[in-house]
Amino acid sequence: MKLILLLALILSSHAYAQGGQGHQGGMHKGDHHGGMHGGELDAATLKQFFEPLPASIIDEKKNETLIKLGRMLYMDPRLSVNDKIACNSCHQLNKFGVDNEPTSPGHEGKRGGRNSPTTLNAALHIAQFWDGRARDVEEQALGPILNPIEMGMPSEEAVVNKLKKIEEYQDLFPKAFKDDKDPFQYKNVGKAIGAFERTLLTPSRFDDYLKGDKDALTADEKRGLKKFVHMGCATCHNGIVIGGNSFKKLGLVEPFETDDLGRYEVTGIESDKHVFKVPSLRNITKTGPYFHDGSVETLDEAIRLMAKHQLGRQVGDSFIRDVKAFLGSLTEKGKE
């Protein structure tokens, strides 16, 4: 069923792109307005590509203590070997879940090779990390703590022993994991942080639009949305988080120069070379720099490069301006 849906999305986007442009093959100019005059995308087209955020994906009342523990752990630099790096250091909640750095400094100031993606809405992704090596946010949360470049803790046992000595956790872990004979287990650190991250949903004006409020978007944003779909961007950037639900080769049409082998390092499958998880576009105007290595400074350049390398199309200033306007509607309401 998933394969059928994916093929339908690809074929539909291709039809929109070709129908709107009037020619095929090679590198196209994509800045004229074929098929885009007047009106808005109809409800059926919107539903085909997008879904509004759910109100919640975790019972916050039932899991109140677990979430409280997870937030405390997320913000706590004592999870690092030198008490200097917390989850929030690289995934800052007051910066839309990122640090706006190309790559993030770890406990010794050394930087990893990949950009730190946002934790906002991340629980709705198909998998975690750029290469998808963690199946969910609970598993992902445990990786950086033991990573020698990031938080640098030497072992799971060292983490647990450190937490046991902290008064606040002596109270919270038993309450959050009251059914566990031993609540102080390393996996429970991930469960708690994951529970907290499941609360980090950011509803936007675009969600209001998907729910039927036609005045939620400006005319510029609606025009950008139409171009976004007609050009074929929604082939990959679709679903609840406008991405995050598939893996694609970077340089699908036009080769993109990168030494990062991407998902190949996880699977060992030749066709996974330079394949990465498609990033979510929610809050994208706030979470630069862009791409897996943070090498693209501006959203304008990211749009241009994506059109070139993923769709084989050259786009001009008006396309970039309108699509960027639409992407702005994906920012959390009240924080635009």
306 labelled binding-site residue: yes
Average per-residue pLDDT in the chain? 91
pLDDT digits (tens, 9 = 90+) for 39-57: 689 999 999 999 999 999 9
At 107, list the tokens: 């406990």
For the chain, the C-alpha Rg in angstroms (whole number) is 21
Q: What pLDDT shows up at residue 145? A: 98
Q: Where are the alpha helices (DSSP H) in 92-238?
A: 137-140, 143-146, 156-164, 167-176, 186-197, 205-210, 219-231
Helix then strand then coil, in percent of the chain rounded to 5, is 45, 5, 50
Choose among 192, 329, 224, 243: nearest CA to 50.
Answer: 243
* Residue 205, SS3 per DSSP: helix
- Residues annotated as catalytic (active site), given as ranges: 150
**236 carries a ligand binding annotation:** yes
What's the confidence (pLDDT) of residue 102? 98
Share of the chain above pLDDT 70, in %: 88
Tell me: cis bond preceding 144? Omega within 30 of 0 counts: no
Q: Is 309 annotated as a binding-site member? A: no
pLDDT tens per residue, range 162-183: 999 999 999 999 999 999 999 9
Max Cα-Cα span within the chain: 68
- Distance CA(210)–CA(51), nearest Å, equals 7
> Shortest CA distance to 67 belongs to which of 118, 123, 117?
123
What domains sit in the chain, N to C, each tagged with a CATH number?
A: 2-53+203-328 (1.10.760.10), 64-197 (1.10.760.10)
pTM of the entire predicted model: 0.89
Contact present, 111 and 99 (Cβ < 8 Å): no
Residues of the chain with pLDDT under 50: 1-27, 30-37
- pLDDT attached to residue 7: 45
Question: How many C-beta atoms lie closer than 10 Å to residue 53's C-beta?
Answer: 18
Q: How far apart are CA 233 and CA 235, in angstroms?
A: 5
Predicted pLDDT at 16: 42
- The reply, when asked if residue 233 is annotated as ligand binding, is yes
126 CB contacts (<8 Å, ≥6 apart)? 132, 244, 245, 246, 247, 277
Q: What is the DSSP string of 99-121?
A: -S-SS-B-TTS-B-SS-----TT
Taking only the tens place, the pLDDT of each residue in 194-205 is 999 999 999 999
90 among annotated binding-site residues: yes
- Other CB atoms within a 10 A radius of the CB of residue 297 amount to 12
SS3 313: strand
